[in-house]
Chains A and B, each alone.
Chain A
């Protein structure tokens, strides 16, 4: 053989060897995700990327509405996945922005709490549009020094006792909190589900909110805003998330929260897969990874919410003592009965009638309420 031929063989050999090495390393691709801030921490994203070869690019969204808008931008092909909350997920399902997946391909699905396997905010007609991730209740938060006796009912934020010291979220889905209160206190209205309101029920709810408005100091826009308002005494009671309570308690602020006797609304987030994704393989791997007990526990403690995988409890306690009970990760089924998880209001009332107020109506009513 001539020198030149040896060179050719060498090049061929190198060429054959390297792609072979490359294939095992990166079978993956890129996953473009829309997520809540804190949902794609390096702590659990890095090991995922290493073991699957799929790269994660996350864009944080500030609100459910923004998530829906982003998923629809550019014809819906820009993002592969979204960590949608219940007030966004039905909009995405009915808008055909996300696709149904087979949950039996997710090994940990069978370990999910019964409530979270087929919740109405991500399962439509028996089809699973993504899998549940984490949840949390919308609690009643109060300053233990300024509010006594300790409240047991949501009535505390609708009665004039704490006028000018009340705060509630600036979010149209807050209408459901008022509807839940009416469901328990005014049975004659016949509210069965705080997210399915006909026009009479809806108007009664809006009237309650109008009466509440003079009592309110601020409709809070961000969790940080509510935290500082509780700290500096602008407000003493309000609707909140466990995250705010944890932060305030860590800062030694005199606050406590509870799920009042009427029950509470809550959020349940779902990882959903875009109908237009070119990376279904990576997306399914992400769904499997994010529902493993360890990642579930890591995320729960990082964000201050509750995992849907019941096996995460033990790991949570290992990571932070007592956190499993603190976040109700081991709560019995009857605990969930009192939590009404967010879902997008749609015209279909679920009882065959189509006269319910849809989310657009909720939004314009909220804008009009703020005036």
Chain B
């Protein structure tokens, strides 16, 4: 063996030797090995992701000449001042955050029993079927699913038709904020179910048995054992549902009503409409800050251990 290695070294010459020395050096210094392994992805991350964020922030400090449409590259906080003083922008930001929160809570409430059944009660075959059912909507285009909801909620759509058959008054849901809430909750539900399922599945059965042995009824076991252990999963799912809703701008156009603008719509209008990229960038900083705060809270609740 040693002889063969030596011969190989002899044949390969200096290059193989250098490679071996490098390997040895890395083996002796694990930190160096870690750094050299991590640096390409970290570099890509910094260049693509952080640089984009920095560019966004920098351009939010510029303005646009309303007459010629050219960007004026001088530093000013005018865009943020306009955001701060414009009542309409407050309404839009608050609406976006509230609907994102409502969607998150709704999804958590729907996802928990579903994920619990999948993780702890269903047999392996039924579980596989349920998995497919949860993921099935993700195979269809996002737009197709929103349009499907339009068909349901329209004046003479499926919902009102069913209500009419039951002798109930028609629900006027087309183009309302309620419609947005329903559609968002439906669209992002799989992103809540999966992490909650993962968290619930990891709870050892012995914990639940121990709780029962100590005399806890099922309600108490749920409150004191299962929920606290599932919480990181719920929080992880909420990061998806909250951030995905926060950044959306298509659903408000398609199913929202006359007062349904999201932050994304105002950004879209100011970039594509007014050609005012700096103002759009300034408004886009708002969801970045909101998500930053949200992630800090989520980290304290242990969400990242469940991802």
- Name A's B-contacting residues (CB within 8 A): 62-63, 65-66, 68-69, 72, 91, 94-96, 164, 172, 213-214, 216-219, 221, 228, 232-234, 358-360, 363-364, 367-368, 370-371
The residue of chain A having its C-beta at the shortest distance from the C-beta of B266 within the complex is A367
Question: Do B261 and A360 touch (CB < 8 A)?
Answer: no
Taking a contact as CB atoms under 8 Å apart, the answer to whether B261 and A216 are in contact is no
Given contacts A72-B275, A95-B67, A363-B273, contact A370 B155 (CB under 8 A): no
Known contacts A233-B156, A367-B269; A219/B67 CB under 8 A: no
Contacts of A219 on B, CB cut-off 8 Å?
258
CB distance B155 to A221 under 8 Å?
Answer: no
A342 and B171 CA atoms in complex are apart in Å by 38
Taking a contact as CB atoms under 8 Å apart, the answer to whether A217 and B273 are in contact is no
Q: Given A233-B155, A358-B66, is A367 in contact with B261 using a C-beta cutoff of 8 Å?
A: yes
Residues of B within 8 A of A94 (CB): 67-68
Since A232-B155, A233-B155 are in contact, a sample of 10 more A-B pairs with Cβ atoms closer than 8 Å, ordered by chain A residue number, is A62-B272, A63-B273, A172-B273, A213-B258, A217-B175, A217-B257, A228-B150, A232-B157, A233-B156, A360-B274
- B251-288 CB mask vs A (1 if < 8 Å, else 0) is 00100011101000010011111110000000000000
Among B33-41, B86-94, B229-237, the stretch in contact with A: B86-94
Among residues of A, the one whose C-beta sits closest to the C-beta of B92 is A371
- Asked if residues B253 and A69 are in contact (CB atoms below 8 Å), the reply is no
| Residues A217 and B272 in contact, CB atoms below 8 Å apart | no
Query: Knowing A65-B275, A368-B88 touch, does A234 contact B257 (C-beta < 8 A)?
Result: no
Nearest residue in B to A215 (C-beta to C-beta)? B258
Q: A221 touching B258 by the CB < 8 A rule? A: no
Which 4 A-B residue pairings sit nearest by Cβ, starting from the closest?
A: A368-B88, A360-B66, A233-B155, A65-B273
Counting chain A CB atoms within 10 Å of each CB, which of B92, B175, B253, B273 scores highest? B273
B284 CB, nearest partner CB in chain A, Å: 15
Q: A217–B174 contact, CB under 8 A?
A: yes
Residues of chain B having any CB pair with chain A under 8 Å: 66-70, 86-88, 91-92, 150, 154-157, 172, 174-175, 253, 257-259, 261, 266, 269-275
The answer to whether B261 and A65 have CB atoms under 8 Å apart is no
Q: How distant is the Cα of A72 from the Cα of B253 in the complex, in angstroms? A: 27
By the criterion CB–CB under 8 Å, are B88 and A68 in contact?
A: no
* CB-defined A-B contacts under 8 Å, sample of 30: A65-B273, A66-B272, A66-B273, A68-B69, A68-B275, A69-B271, A72-B275, A95-B67, A95-B68, A164-B172, A213-B259, A218-B257, A218-B258, A221-B253, A228-B150, A232-B154, A232-B155, A232-B157, A233-B154, A360-B66, A363-B269, A363-B273, A363-B274, A367-B88, A367-B269, A368-B87, A368-B88, A371-B88, A371-B91, A371-B259
Complex: chain A residue closest to B82, CB-CB: A364
CB nearest neighbor in A for B279 = A364
Cβ-closest chain A residue relative to B175 = A218
CA distance A22 to B253 in the complex (A): 51
CB distance from A36 to the nearest CB of B (A): 16
Question: Hey, which chain A residues are within 8 Å of B257, CB to CB?
Answer: 217-218
Inter-chain CA distance A363–B271, complex, in Å, is 12
What's the A-B contact tally at a CB cutoff of 8 Å?
Answer: 79
Check if A91 sits within 8 Å of B175, measured CB to CB: no
CB-CB under 8 A from B69, the residues of chain A are 68-69, 72, 91, 95
The reply to whether B259 and A65 form a contact with Cβ atoms under 8 Å apart is: no
Measured between beta carbons, the chain B residues less than 8 angstroms from A228 are 150
Residues of B with C-beta under 8 A to A96: 68
A13: min CB distance to chain B, Å: 55
Residues of A within 8 A of B155 (CB): 232-234
B154 touches A216 (CB 8 A): no
Shortest beta-carbon distance from B269 to chain A in Å: 6
Q: Shortest CB–CB separation between residue A191 and chain B, in angstroms?
A: 23
Q: Are B259 and A370 in touch, CB under 8 angstroms?
A: yes
Cβ contacts under 8 Å, B274 to chain A: 65, 360, 363-364
Who on chain B is nearest to A168 by CB? B258
Cβ–Cβ < 8 Å partners of A63 in chain B: 272-273
Q: How far is the CA of A164 from the CA of B258 in the complex (A)?
A: 10
| Minimum Cβ distance to chain B for residue A129 (Å) | 16
Q: Is the CB of A216 within 8 A of B258?
A: yes
CB distance from A151 to the nearest CB of B (A): 20
Set of chain B residues within 8 Å of A363, measured between Cβ atoms: 269, 273-274
| A95 CB to nearest B CB, Å | 5
Q: How far apart are the CA atoms of A221 and B272 in the complex, in Å?
A: 14
Q: Which residues of A contact B156 (CB under 8 A)?
A: 232-233
Q: How far is the CB of A192 from chain B (nearest CB, A)?
A: 23
What is the bound-complex CA distance between A371 and B175, given in angstroms?
A: 15
Instruction: Return chain A residues, CB-CB under 8 Å to B154.
Output: 232-234
Chain B residue contacts of A367, Cβ below 8 A: 88, 261, 266, 269-270
Q: Which residue of A lies closest to B90 (CB)?
A: A371
Output the nearest chain B residue to A73 by Cβ-Cβ distance: B275
Using CB atoms, name the residue of chain A closest to B95: A371
Chain A residues with CB below 8 A from B269, complex form: 363, 367
A370 — which chain B residues lie within 8 A by C-beta? 88, 258-259, 261
- Distance in Å: Cβ of A180 to nearest Cβ of chain B: 21
A256 to B87 CA separation, bound complex (whole angstroms): 39
Q: Which of A95, A172, A234 contacts B175 (CB 8 A)?
A: A234
How close is A329's CB to chain B, nearest CB, in angstroms?
32
Q: Shortest distance in angstroms between A358's beta carbon and chain B's nearest beta carbon? A: 6
Question: What residues on B are CB-neighbors of A233 within 8 Å?
Answer: 154-156
Q: Which residues of B sit under 8 angstroms from A213, Cβ to Cβ?
A: 258-259
Residues in A whose Cβ lies below 8 Å from that of B271: 69
A371 touches B174 (CB 8 A): no
In the bound assembly, the distance between CA atoms of A224 and B52 in angstroms comes to 35
A78 to B91 Cα, complex, angstroms: 38
Give the complex CA separation of A66 and B86 in angstroms. Answer: 24
Give the most central of A68, A95, A213, A234: most B CB within 10 Å.
A234
A282–B69 Cα distance when bound, in Å, is 28
CA distance A63 to B271 in the complex (A): 12
Listed residue (A68, A358, A364) with the most chain B CB atoms within 10 angstroms of its CB: A364
Cα–Cα distance between A69 and B69 once the two chains are bound (Å):
8
